[in-house]
Amino acid sequence: MTANNEIGTIEDIGEICNLVKEAGALMHTDASQAVGKIPVNVKDLGVDYLTLSAHKFYGPKGIGALYIKKGTPLFPLIHGGHHEEGLRAGTYNNLGILGMGKAAELAFRDLAEYGKKMSGLRLRLRDGLLDAIPNIVLNGHPEDVLPNTLNVSFPGAEGEAILLSMDLNGIEASTGSACASGSLDPSHVLLATGLGPELAHGSIRFSLGWGVEENDIDYIIEVLPPIIARLRSMSTVKE
């Protein structure tokens, strides 16, 4: 993936693509989490295929796109009619397509402003939590990271308990990825970075968007420290 949906780390897809091409293989990247948040250019990346999803940049849900480099092979998965030049049977979702196109246009227009605002809010939240809460772990790359994503582990406090307490205070966040929200297993992404199961279970992902302002960040910094302190005092797990 171009950027990870849990910890926000941005991968060097261009370099990966070079290695893939040296091996004589084709390259696909899932750019769903990156498009609309950072510049994404298929020519610069050098990929053969790229997928994206409209709802990630404020477009309608249920619509996405697949980029295919000219001359690259592709075979149908769903057979039937002659839609999509014979590659996918089914009636076009015209409203979804139009909505995605408009959302992409607006996202491209506002990309620089979005990056500047989200980076500022993310740093404000990161630094505020580091100052207010002892012994926390920042997950993901410190620099090559999406401007809107902050993943933090709180040793001695369980993620679901943190979420419930924040929810009661009107703060929305998540543990791990939304795709795995029905699972109680620790995040495979965090485990793969070398984090232990206890820290992975105590991780919270903050995803920022256009509706978030500085006063919202300050509210989190005010409300979260006593929540963590209370949960740690009740925990049998050593920090």
The DSSP annotation for 29-58 comes to EE-TTTBTTB---HHHHT-SEEEEEGGGGT
Boundary residue ending a domain (45, 77, 109):
109
User: Do 148 and 172 sit in the same domain of this protein?
Assistant: yes
| Mean pLDDT, residues 20-42 | 97
Query: Rounded distance, CA 44 to CA 129, Å?
Result: 36
Q: Is pLDDT of 229 > 50?
A: yes
DSSP code for 186? P
What the block records as the tokens of 21 is 């091409």
Answer whether residue 4 is part of any domain.
no
- Give catalytic status of residue 179 as yes or no: yes
Active-site annotation holder among 23, 77, 179, 192: 179
- Residue 79 lies in domain: 13-109
User: Do 128 and 223 sit in the same domain of this protein?
Assistant: yes
| Mean pLDDT, residues 30-40 | 97
What the block records as the tokens of 233 is 């005092």
Top pLDDT among 79 and 238 is at 79
Q: Is 143 exposed, middle or buried (0-12, 13-18, 19+ CB in 10 A)?
A: exposed
Query: Rounded distance, CA 34 to CA 56, Å?
Result: 8
User: Do 116 and 227 sit in the same domain of this protein?
Assistant: yes
| Mean pLDDT, residues 190-216 | 92
**What pLDDT is stored for residue 239 in this prediction?**
52
| CATH number of the domain enclosing 53 | 3.40.640.10
User: Do 229 and 131 sit in the same domain of this protein?
Assistant: yes
Boundary residue ending a domain (109, 129, 158):
109
Query: What pTM does this model have?
Result: 0.89
Answer whether residue 117 is part of any domain.
yes
Answer whether residue 78 is part of any domain.
yes
> Given pLDDT bands bounded at 50, 70 and 90, which one contains residue 236?
low
**What pLDDT is stored for residue 184 in this prediction?**
64
User: Do 38 and 85 sit in the same domain of this protein?
Assistant: yes
Answer whether residue 3 is part of any domain.
no
Answer whether residue 6 is part of any domain.
no
Boundary residue ending a domain (109, 140, 157):
109
**Tally of domains within the chain:** 2
- In what side-by-side order are the strands of the sheet with 64-68? 28-30, 49-53, 64-68
In one-letter notation, the amino acid at residue 38 is I
User: Do 198 and 171 sit in the same domain of this protein?
Assistant: yes
User: Do 171 and 220 sit in the same domain of this protein?
Assistant: yes
Q: Dmax over Cα atoms in the chain, in whole Å?
A: 63
Task: Provide the strand spans (E) within 43-158.
Answer: 49-53, 64-68, 137-139, 149-153
User: Do 118 and 214 sit in the same domain of this protein?
Assistant: yes
User: Do 129 and 104 sit in the same domain of this protein?
Assistant: no
User: Do 44 and 127 sit in the same domain of this protein?
Assistant: no
Neighbour tally for 201: CB within 10 Å? 22
Q: Is pLDDT of 32 > 50?
A: yes
Least confident interval from 104-108, 110-114, 174-178, 199-203: 174-178
Q: Is pLDDT of 225 > 60?
A: yes
> Given pLDDT bands bounded at 50, 70 and 90, which one contains residue 180?
very low
Q: Is pLDDT of 177 > 60?
A: no
> Given pLDDT bands bounded at 50, 70 and 90, which one contains residue 178?
very low
Q: Is pLDDT of 176 > 70?
A: no
Per cent of the chain over pLDDT 70 is 95
| Mean pLDDT, residues 56-73 | 96
User: Do 45 and 153 sit in the same domain of this protein?
Assistant: no
| Mean pLDDT, residues 4-15 | 96
Answer whether residue 1 is part of any domain.
no
pLDDT in tens, 111-159: 999 999 999 999 999 999 999 999 999 999 999 999 999 999 999 998 8
Answer whether residue 202 is part of any domain.
yes
138: phi then psi, degrees, rounded to nearest 5: -90, 130
Answer whether residue 76 is part of any domain.
yes
User: Do 227 and 168 sit in the same domain of this protein?
Assistant: yes
